[in-house]
Amino acid sequence: MSKISRSLGRSGNPALTSEVFNNSITSQGEVMTLQGTVNKTSLSLCLLVLAGGFTFNTGNTDFIWPGFIGGFIVAMITIFKKEWAPITVPIYAVLEGLALGGVSLVYNGMFPGEGLAMKAILLTVSIFAALLFAYKTRIIKPTANFKLGIFAATAGIAVFYVISWVISLFGGGFPEVLNPLNGGLLSIGFSLFVVVIAALNLVLDFDFIEEGAEKGAPKYMEWYGAFGLLVTLIWLYLEILRLLAKISSRD
């Protein structure tokens, strides 16, 4: 593969890139394994679900912004200090869980009786399992062009969200396609597109975690790999929630 292809063949998830693993290779001590990453990911998800269940079952939405802001700060620390991942990733999972539990409560309150949160959880889990199967059986192959396409689409979505957020700070408001109560076909189509891109990022995450294990990355990178998957799964869950809300608003 050419140098250009290698530089562009990356996960849309900024936490997982080839450079991350290349800069962490070690020939001493324990090394990263796929099973170890699976175990860390499972533990992180358990912490996230427990924290989310706490805020959801207590009806507490006060942790939404503290959770997201705290999670963002811890995520930045994790990205720049990857060796701290065994400590920061569990903290990140708890903070994001507290925020997601509150967000799920808000969405359920918008459409009582429809159980949007549970539907979103089931869809997220199902998509994760389906794409993991597709990756392991090589039904989906993360080729250089595939990676480039997902990276470009993810970057485009991120830029659109940032610009929308900046405009809103100056009183311009968010675009209608981001409004969870907008059941228009264009709005639903946009959310469906974002969900697909978020889901396909999982394939790239699997690929880079496998690459890290093959290259013998240090043991703490198992936690960092789990962190990358958490970032994508949280994004996917939130986008599915938004999509379901838009669909429900058409009824």
Residues 188 and 237: their CA atoms lie apart, in Å, by 16
What is the residue extent of each domain of the chain?
A: 19-248
Residues 231 and 92: their CA atoms lie apart, in Å, by 10
SS3 2: coil
- Residue 133 pLDDT level (bands cut at 50, 70, 90): very high
Residues 206 and 124: their CA atoms lie apart, in Å, by 16
Q: Which one has a higher pLDDT value, 150 or 5? A: 150
Q: Are 248 and 240 spatial neighbours (Cβ–Cβ below 8 Å)?
A: no
* Cα four-point dihedral sign 214, 218, 222, 225: negative
Query: pTM for the whole thing?
Result: 0.88
pLDDT above 70 covers what percent of the chain? 88
**Is 6's pLDDT higher than 90?**
no
**Is 127's pLDDT higher than 90?**
yes
Q: What is the rounded average pLDDT of the residues 137-156?
A: 94
- Residue 239 pLDDT level (bands cut at 50, 70, 90): very high
**Is 18's pLDDT higher than 90?**
no
SS3 178: helix
Give the model's pLDDT for residue 12. Answer: 55
Worst-scoring range by mean pLDDT, 16-25, 77-86, 213-222, 226-235? 16-25
Give the model's pLDDT for residue 161. Answer: 94
CA dihedral 176, 69, 40, 9 (to 10 degrees): 50
Task: Summarize pLDDT for 164-204 with one digit per residue, the tens.
Answer: 989 888 877 778 899 999 999 999 999 999 999 999 999 99
Give the model's pLDDT for residue 229. Answer: 96
Give the model's pLDDT for residue 30. Answer: 85
Give the model's pLDDT for residue 27. Answer: 45
For the chain, give the number of residues.
251
Query: What DSSP assignment string belongs to 202-227?
Result: HHHHHHHHHHHHHHT-BTTHHHHHHH
Q: What is the rounded average pLDDT of the residues 229-249?
A: 97
Structural tokens at position 26: 């070690």
**Is 91's pLDDT higher than 70?**
yes
pLDDT above 90 covers what percent of the chain? 80
Worst-scoring range by mean pLDDT, 28-42, 57-71, 104-118? 28-42
